[in-house]
């Protein structure tokens, strides 16, 4: 199996969303500045010897500017997205058409990871997401309790949803999915084993940045279940060590660049 990383552009937001107590006021510093950071939006294109082209994460919708509510654009504003970050163009650059994609795996179903399903509307491609994530995202939209993180333009029964059940599933040979909740109820981390015996571990937004995964710095306001997050951290660490994985985190631009610059991995 071969792998390449896809650059879906970036957004910028307050660091407090992803890092507990970033910019918090203190007794001696009553009004510190609020640190902000670029959030690289990351996808992965897998070429599987038996199953063909498989995508992990779909990025934002190409017309996100029309689809994202204004408050979302204010808080999580996309600051880099051009034609070269469109999923159809990224596939073209890799020698494929959107119709060549045999399966899509969603790390979770937030708007910056699943909005790009719009490229596949009407194509009936199987879209794999965790059972709990599919249930929660439709509920979040229907009740408006988590509207904005999820959007109705793609939380749509028109897509060919395929639930992934349980804690660990080898979906295709060499592609193992783990339910690592915390950020959302059904976040799916993914381990891929490449031709050259290298393994990659994608955490989606269970871990946003290096500090979360390597320093054990808890995630911030975007955490939905802190107890689950600590368990997921422990589990991901064990997987990383057991299989000696290269780790790609949900929005870490430095790690992304390290592997994206290498081009085709495992080739
Ligand atoms: Zn995200």
Q: What is the DSSP string of the chain?
A: -EEEEEEEEEEEEEGGGTSTTTT---SS-SS----EEEEEEEEEEEEETTTEEEEE---S-TTHHHHS-HHHHHHSEEEE--GGGSHHHHHHHTT--GGGEEEEE-S--SHHHHGGGGGGTTS--EEEEEHHHHHHHHHHHHH-TTBTTB-TTTS-TTSEEEEE-SSEEEEETTEEEEE--SSSTT-EEEEEE-TTS-EEEE-GGGS-SHHHHHS-----TT-S-HHHHHHHHHHHHHHHHHHT-EEE-SS-HHHHHHHHTT-SBT-
Average pLDDT over the chain, rounded to an integer: 97
Local confidence band at 267 (pLDDT 50, 70, 90 cut-offs): confident
Local confidence band at 9 (pLDDT 50, 70, 90 cut-offs): very high
Helix ranges (H only) for 181-225 are: 210-214
For residue 29, report the distance from its CA to the centre of ligand 1, in Å: 30
For residue 41, report the distance from its CA to the centre of ligand 1, in Å: 7
> Are 188 and 133 spatial neighbours (Cβ–Cβ below 8 Å)?
yes
DSSP tag of 147: B
pTM (2 decimals)?
0.97
How far apart CA 113 and CA 208 sit, in angstroms, is 13
Local confidence band at 237 (pLDDT 50, 70, 90 cut-offs): very high
For residue 145, report the distance from its CA to the centre of ligand 1, in Å: 18
For residue 267, report the distance from its CA to the centre of ligand 1, in Å: 28
Record the tokens describing residue 25, joined without a space: 């006021």
Record the tokens describing residue 193, joined without a space: 């084993």
For residue 157, report the distance from its CA to the centre of ligand 1, in Å: 22
For residue 229, report the distance from its CA to the centre of ligand 1, in Å: 15
Chain segment 79-103, per-residue pLDDT in tens: 999 999 999 999 999 999 999 999 9
Q: Which domains does the chain have, with CATH numbers?
A: 2-14+35-260 (3.60.15.10)
pLDDT given at position 147: 94
Q: Is the pLDDT of residue 196 over 90?
A: no
- 50, 62, 67, 63: which is closest to 91 by C-alpha? 62
């Amino acid at each position: 199996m071969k792998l390449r990383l896809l650059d879906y552009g970036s957004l910028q937001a307050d660091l407090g969303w992803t890092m507990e107590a970033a910019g918090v006021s203190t007794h001696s510093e009553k009004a510190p500045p609020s640190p902000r950071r670029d959030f690289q939006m990351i996808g992965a294109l897998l070429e599987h010897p038996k199953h063909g082209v498989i995508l992990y994460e779909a990025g934002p919708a190409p017309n996100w500017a029309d689809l994202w509510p204004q408050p979302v654009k204010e808080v999580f504003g996309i600051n880099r997205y051009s034609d070269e970050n469109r999923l159809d163009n990224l596939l073209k650059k890799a020698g494929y058409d959107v119709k060549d994609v045999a399966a899509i795996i969603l790390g979770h179903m937030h708007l910056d990871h699943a909005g790009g399903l719009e490229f596949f509307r009407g194509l009936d491609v199987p879209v794999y997401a965790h059972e709990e994530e599919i249930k929660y995202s439709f509920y979040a939209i229907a009740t408006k309790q988590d509207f904005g993180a999820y959007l109705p333009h793609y939380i749509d029964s028109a897509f060919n949803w395929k639930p992934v059940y349980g804690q660990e599933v080898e979906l295709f040979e060499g592609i193992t999915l783990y339910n690592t909740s915390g950020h959302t109820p059904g976040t799916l981390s993914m381990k891929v084993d490449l031709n050259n015996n290298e393994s990659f571990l994608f955490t989606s937004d269970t871990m946003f940045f290096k500090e979360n995964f390597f320093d054990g710095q808890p995630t911030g306001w975007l955490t939905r279940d802190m107890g689950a997050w600590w368990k997921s951290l422990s589990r991901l660490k064990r997987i990383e060590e057991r299989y000696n994985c290269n780790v790609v985190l949900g929005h870490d631009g430095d790690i992304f660049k390290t592997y994206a610059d290498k081009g085709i991995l495992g080739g």
